[in-house]
Structure 1
């Protein structure tokens, strides 16, 4: 009896160790997957604060909470089942889908770089949430959630690509962990960024000496923090997008570009002390350059499409205006003839 109990306890201990090891494996895999999606995470963090810009201070956190819930719903209810089904039954589609996402990231990075260089930016909404009340707030939250869907899809597909060799259940658990962790991090940081200036204003108004100076420093620093975050986000999008494309073309059988970058890495890897860093730097710069070139091409194409569409709409309005003038002209002409 004692021997049987000891054997049972030994089995339980073994199962507990296996469970602990599995949890560690899931945590490690989720960490790797999240790290690969870092570029999109930075962009998501940089993009979201603009959707609550101009909102009343009392509505900022509720709006962020609504956007965070929508983001989690995007990831868990829509994106996760879709990509799991694809990975299970059509795994060959993941690389092309990932490359489409990489192209989109490169386009976004190049577009933002072009806006920064040219000074041309997308038009901002004419009204802010407090000016129009709950309906405008709901529209702004809905717009943020729609934008988040694209970024969340990129995050989840990139994460899935890192754990594609795991069994289906492990993939699902890891991606749920990634979705929860990244959503918490992104919107926690967004909430901190959005409220930091309010904290600074309060400190500056209610405290004295160093504490008040700290408050003023926070207020002055936040625009710079957002600017740095935006710049890092642009670089990260070009780097991540380009790296996805670099690896993707290699997996599809076009090895020349990947081999060239690999040879460049090997050329600097042997440098004493800094070889590993230099190899990483070469890969990163090459990936960013690829992202910039591909993104710039897409930007040019999209701008031409926009111009053609705008020209077509202008011509259509002109034709409609000309057609509208015809009856008046005909009536006038007919009246004159009758006279």
Structure 2
């Protein structure tokens, strides 16, 4: 631990992405703004905090939910508060400690955790930061496979889905940051796995790179239930749901008795003013299907075990990683918007400085 010295007077540029206005419907780049600011390269005296230079920023669909102004008393469908107009956007990032007054963190430590969409972030809740234990692997992986998305996939599939060898698994948004990890964990667990994605290119990626047994392009399928029947002829034991809506409705029809639906995300609903309803909820009763939602925040106690296990899979080439990387904070708004049109291929992230 060091820092907190007012004698440090170095001030540098700090570009940041702020929310220009709250969003209704589909977000646009104009809803965000790049603002030029400055930052002092030391933690202010008397403050317990960590100053981090951000190297990589994560783009994740749940950021969209925080861009809407919810009515007082309304429950935002993520365990976080609305973004504030004029303030920096927040998400997970990877960075290097510049200064610290918090025990256990020192200058030059590599960390990941909740950070601002900016070049430098003063983290005033440093207990949320996690030291990076495998710097020999690409640091960008801590925005994805070794960070929140990867841990989400692991907690949801292993802890909530409880796979058994021979299970038939369906993953939606399967080429994304979470889905690509779920599918590969399913193969490691000895399951048959099929996925859906939004382009023929992504379908081929699922089968050739991530080892899925089958996959389909949901945008070109006229009948999702028929596509599921074709790809999973014996039904679904575990559905890892990242999209909700029509795909969830079709999957419920195809669940096996005693199947499990792991409700992770519902990206198909995030930009709708009135969410789509479901027609096949009766299948939950008739097929004794367990539907369980979860947040990775409830599984943070298991992160260390996950990190070691996943790092081992990566080194052994049991898990492949595909990233969609853009350079520069100026390109962050467009990268985020692209998630909702399926423009990205793999984990979307922004690189500010390569280590």
Higher Cα Rg, which structure: 1
Higher relative contact order (CA 8 A, sep 6+): 1
TM norm structure 1: 0.23
TM-score, structure 2 normalization = 0.22
Structure with bigger helix share is 1
Greater share of strand: 2
